[in-house]
Structure 1
Amino acid sequence: MRPVEIAPNVFEVGVRDWNIRDFHGYSTPAGTTYNAFLIRGETNVLIDTVKAEFTEELLSNIRAVMDPKDIDIVVSNHTEMDHSGGLPRIMAAVGQDKPLYCSKMGAKNLARHFRENWNLKEVSSSEEISIGSGRTLMFIETRMLHWPDSMFTYLKEDGILFSSDAFGQHYAGSEIFDDQMDMSELLFHAKKYYANILLPFSALIAKLLKAVGEMGLKLNMVCPDHGIIWRKDPGVILDAYDRWSRQETQNKAVVIYDTMWHSTEMMADAIVGGLVEAGVEQVRPISVRRSHRSDIMTEIMDAKVVMVGSPTLNNQIFPALMDVLTYMKGLKPQGKIAAAFGSYGWSGEAVKLLNAELSAMGFELPEEGIRIQYVPERDQLTLCHGLGLRMGLRAQGREV
């Protein structure tokens, strides 16, 4: 892919990683991009780089616009290796003495990652620098969004926010801008990104959105480091982040389970029937061995009800389900009511252990859960249906 001029003398020069399918345990069936941006003017500025193995492609894209030696300033918004891995070769091409702007924590991280003698320039939030041609860069610290070093760079006069790992998606396609994609598909990718990367930092994101709003920044374009650029209506993704950061839930239930000889699966099916009868609008039954943990988490993010089922294996929860629970715990979803269920042969500890896991996540547990020995009988499946019915009614604030 060649550079694209996204605004007068502002170019997207990043690369597409078409083939990546796993990003830190997050499934990426559509690949991803490592976006980088070049501002041409009296002072030429490169904002962010790419994964190390894509550096030559980045240099080729830069050369299509200018000689890398003509770059005067490099900005590192975030030091994670998918954005800073190319820095050693980029700085060698640009010139080791050229200023490399970053946050205070960014300077520490870059020094520890690379141990290069770079001309690091630490900037603080709201600090501005003139780059000539009537243009100004302003830096906005965004600590723990999602690393301690993270920051935004704002091209003030053009109203362009280079937002690093915020507002992005793991998506690689021929499209560059939001108006070139179906909005529902784009928001799905953005939601998955939020659910699996940014959800634990929701309280900080809510504060940041408020602070940015109070700064009165005009936003003509939002340029994340992954995926599609928002130019038609950046307010769409800002509004979505506002909802997601408040962890608003829908009239929705997710039933996740694993099964050994289909008994727990039969229980899950009966519970789903009860949830549907209760009037829950969206009911998602998910077998954890047939779905990726990151897709499961995307569904759970805005669900009010989470039902979790496991048979007992060696006095424990089934391992594939435990993988999902461990992953979920780290992402800290909030505002859920939950219940456990499961079948067993001779010991039956899984439901008790599931309750402990769900309680540790801060979920409300209005029911003790249901455990059934061997294959469920008709009356036992009726109990499972009743559990789903009661949980569905509770989720809607209706009488149980």
Structure 2
Amino acid sequence: MQAVEIVKNIYWVGAIDWITRDFHGYSTYRGTTYNAFLIIDEKITLIDTVKAEYRSELMHRIRSIIDPKKIDYMVVNHVEMDHSGSLPEVVREINPEKVICSKMGHKALLQHFHQEDWPYHVVTPGEELSLGERTLSFLETRMLHWPDSMFTYVKEEELLFSSDAFGQHLATSERFDDEVNQDVLMHECAKYYANILTLYSPLVKKLLAKVAEMNPPIKMIAPDHGVIWRGNPGKVLDAYSKWCVHEGQGNALIIYDTMWHSTEKMAKAIAGGLLEEGISYKLLDLQVNHRSDVMTEVLNASAIILGCPTLNNGMLPRMAGFLMYMRGLRPTNKIGAAFGSYGWSGEAVKLMNQAMKEMKFTICHEGLRVQYVPEHDNLRECAELGRHVGRTLKDFMAGKEVESVI
């Protein structure tokens, strides 16, 4: 368990979690990392800690460099338990001069650990702290994605410790972005944004504008999860600038659930209509696609077409659960439409439309319902729905005004 030097006298001392497959409802098929960093200077400083059960990994890596008791300062960029769970034992072992945090971080630390006698040093935005040869400065990033979050910047190294921003749930023996498969990296980065930060996109946009105004040189970004951006940190900054305005790629998603395949048949006919209009699409059956993977596709999509049969005057549980999940993340800037089969009541289409209306989607069709099993004429209507969405989407992408019909 050796530390990894990321720049001279600054080390990664975190932990690799190869086994986690669920992160509060978000599927993490590739595991994750809990990143922590050690700065060797006149004042030796530990940036963040790790999840409680990985404390021994953290301490072993620190010991490969120095005696942990020599650490002077500890910086807590984020109080969520995957980064602070080991903090009480680490503080007890190290006995630091300062535990550095934001104003809201101080409040959160007290609420989590009830330790009033820790040597808290509450920093203000823009405050600088000398370590000797290096200087730390701090930027509050409230609600990205907790109230306590902040960035720590090392001016002399042009290194940004970015807390949960710019991260990925990706367990790997490699530590840097230029050492891993770029398609996998950007997929996991997009999935992370889609399922954690989409709700906070307006704040991400403001933060990026503020960083651009301050214009600090950034050679390296070290997030609290995943690999460190050193090869091209601008790549993830550019991606965030697109994701935070929910910039779709002109494609459509047909997201559906089905009981006896009637809604599935409708979905495939709608897909045919989209194809006739030259619209790229994906069919996503909620029975086989995890909600967090579907949300990753939603991030870059421009049209969302929801399909579900009616069950007990409502939706199937998978669609109801997915809509609750998506509504909580509040994606915007989307065209929407709904369809579904039914037996004797048919409320599902109305409920899906209502959910999209609450998310401020531009609903371009009042919705299509088919009783029991679709016949040829029904499937022709479905294809026309697909063509209609396709034509509307092309107008939408061309910047033409499109009004919601609901």
- TM-score tier (shorter): over 0.9
Please tell me the residue identity of whatever aligns with 2:241.
D
Q: Report the Cα offset of residue 352 of structure 1.
A: 1.2
| Partner residue, 1:358 | 356
Alignment of 1:36-55 (within 5 A): 36-55=36-55
| Partner residue, 1:241 | 240
Counterpart CA distance in 2 for 1:334 and 1:274 is 24
Counterpart CA distance in 2 for 1:250 and 1:392 is 13
Please tell me the residue identity of whatever aligns with 2:58.
L
Please tell me the residue identity of whatever aligns with 1:314.
N
Q: Report the Cα offset of residue 258 of structure 1.
A: 0.5
Counterpart CA distance in 1 for 2:236 and 2:343 is 49
Counterpart CA distance in 1 for 2:381 and 2:324 is 28
Which moved further from structure 2: 209-218 or 47-56? 209-218
Residue 103 of structure 2 corresponds to residue 104 of structure 1? yes
Q: Report the Cα offset of residue 98 of structure 1.
A: 2.1
Q: CA RMSD of the aligned region, Å?
A: 1.2
Counterpart CA distance in 2 for 1:368 and 1:318 is 20
| Partner residue, 1:93 | 93
Task: State which of 295, 298, 301 in structure 2 corresponds to 1:297.
Answer: 295
Please tell me the residue identity of whatever aligns with 2:125.
S
Describe the superposition over 1:226-277 as per-residue Cα deviations: whole angstroms up to 9, x where unpaired: 0010001110001111111111111110101110000000000001111111
Q: Report the Cα offset of residue 184 of structure 1.
A: 2.0
Counterpart CA distance in 2 for 1:108 and 1:88 is 15
Describe the superposition over 1:341-379 as per-residue Cα deviations: whole angstroms up to 9, x where unpaired: 000111111111111111111111121110000110011
Counterpart CA distance in 1 for 2:239 and 2:358 is 28
| Partner residue, 1:164 | 163
Helix, strand or coil: the match of 2:138?
A: strand
| Partner residue, 2:340 | 342
Helix, strand or coil: the match of 2:173?
A: coil
Please tell me the residue identity of whatever aligns with 2:12.
E
Alignment of 1:274-353 (within 5 A): 274-280=273-279, 282-353=280-351
Helix, strand or coil: the match of 2:55?
A: helix
Count of matched residue positions in the alignment of Structure 1 and Structure 2: 397
Describe the superposition over 1:88-130 as per-residue Cα deviations: whole angstroms up to 9, x where unpaired: 11101111x5210000000000011101221111001110000
| Partner residue, 2:371 | 373
Counterpart CA distance in 1 for 2:89 and 2:371 is 62
Q: Report the Cα offset of residue 4 of structure 1.
A: 0.3
Counterpart CA distance in 1 for 2:368 and 2:284 is 18
Helix, strand or coil: the match of 2:332?
A: coil
| Partner residue, 1:64 | 64
Counterpart CA distance in 2 for 1:170 and 1:187 is 11
| Partner residue, 1:5 | 5
Alignment of 1:241-280 (within 5 A): 241-280=240-279
Describe the superposition over 1:271-293 as per-residue Cα deviations: whole angstroms up to 9, x where unpaired: 1111111111x311100111100
Identity percentage of aligned residues: 54
Q: Report the Cα offset of residue 210 of structure 1.
A: 1.2
Counterpart CA distance in 1 for 2:228 and 2:100 is 23
Moved over 4 A (4+): none
Helix, strand or coil: the match of 1:347?
A: coil
Counterpart CA distance in 1 for 2:129 and 2:8 is 19
Helix, strand or coil: the match of 1:138?
A: strand
Counterpart CA distance in 2 for 1:374 and 1:111 is 57
TM-score normalised according to structure 1 size: 0.98
| Unmatched 5+ stretches in structure 1 | none
Describe the superposition over 1:142-174 as per-residue Cα deviations: whole angstroms up to 9, x where unpaired: 111111110000011000000000000000011
Helix, strand or coil: the match of 2:289?
A: coil
Please tell me the residue identity of whatever aligns with 1:274.
G
Q: Report the Cα offset of residue 19 of structure 1.
A: 0.3
Counterpart CA distance in 1 for 2:175 and 2:334 is 36
Which moved further from structure 2: 153-162 or 209-218? 209-218
Helix, strand or coil: the match of 1:306?
A: strand
Which moved further from structure 2: 158-167 or 241-250? 241-250
Counterpart CA distance in 2 for 1:293 and 1:229 is 27
Q: Report the Cα offset of residue 59 of structure 1.
A: 0.7
| Unmatched 5+ stretches in structure 2 | none
Counterpart CA distance in 1 for 2:66 and 2:94 is 11
Counterpart CA distance in 2 for 1:392 and 1:318 is 27
Helix, strand or coil: the match of 2:336?
A: strand
Counterpart CA distance in 2 for 1:196 and 1:270 is 30
Helix, strand or coil: the match of 2:77?
A: coil
Helix, strand or coil: the match of 2:364?
A: coil
Counterpart CA distance in 2 for 1:7 and 1:35 is 15
Counterpart CA distance in 1 for 2:241 and 2:233 is 13
Please tell me the residue identity of whatever aligns with 2:261.
H
TM-score normalised according to structure 2 size: 0.96
Helix, strand or coil: the match of 2:139?
A: strand
Q: Report the Cα offset of residue 2 of structure 1.
A: 2.4
Please tell me the residue identity of whatever aligns with 2:10.
V
Counterpart CA distance in 2 for 1:368 and 1:79 is 45
Alignment of 1:138-287 (within 5 A): 138-280=137-279, 282-287=280-285
Please tell me the residue identity of whatever aligns with 1:386.
E
